[in-house]
């Protein structure tokens, strides 16, 4: 079996703002970008890891509802993550969950729920 990679795609009318959110909040790095007539986008990867988890941000008509989607990032030090958030990024929490993890809740520029957590998987 070959190792798997995960790529999540967000289609949005706010490409630059969305890429900036994930780069500044999560330290993601730009690994690819393209701009051709009606085909514009970029791919980000977590800076600390390899390319096994990627985020594609594609410019297009934004879906009207992202309410069923959440992106979750695990961190070893939630306090340090909170302290590193750029000014103006609104967060709710940290909240201790019954299973022993601690969650911080954010929203990206598209209204996508982003959870940063410390603790179990």
In tens, the pLDDT along 29-75 reads 999 999 998 899 999 998 766 667 899 999 998 777 888 899 999 99
pTM, entire model: 0.86
Token pair in block for residue 3: 């190792």
- 107's enclosing H/E stretch is strand 102-107
Q: Quick one: DSSP state of residue 90?
A: -
Residue 1, pLDDT score = 55
DSSP letter string over 41-69? EEEEE-SSS-SSEEEEEEESPPPS--TT-
> pLDDT per residue over 80-112, tens digit each?
999 999 998 999 999 999 999 999 999 999 999
Residue 66, pLDDT score = 86
Q: Are 19 and 12 within 8 A, CB to CB?
A: no
Chain CA centroid to CA 118, Å = 16
Residue 64, pLDDT score = 76
């Amino acid at each position: 079996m070959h190792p798997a990679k995960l790529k999540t795609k967000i289609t949005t009318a706010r490409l630059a703002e969305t890429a900036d959110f994930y780069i500044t909040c999560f330290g993601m790095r730009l690994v690819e970008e393209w701009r051709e007539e009606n085909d514009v986008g970029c791919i980000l990867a977590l800076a600390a890891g390899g390319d096994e988890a990627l985020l594609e941000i594609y410019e297009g008509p934004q879906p009207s509802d992202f309410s069923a989607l959440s992106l979750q990032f695990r961190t070893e030090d939630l306090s340090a993550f909170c302290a590193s958030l750029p000014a103006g990024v609104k967060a709710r929490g940290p909240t201790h969950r019954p299973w022993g993890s601690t969650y911080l809740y954010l929203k990206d520029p598209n209204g996508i729920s982003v959870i940063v957590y410390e603790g179990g998987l």
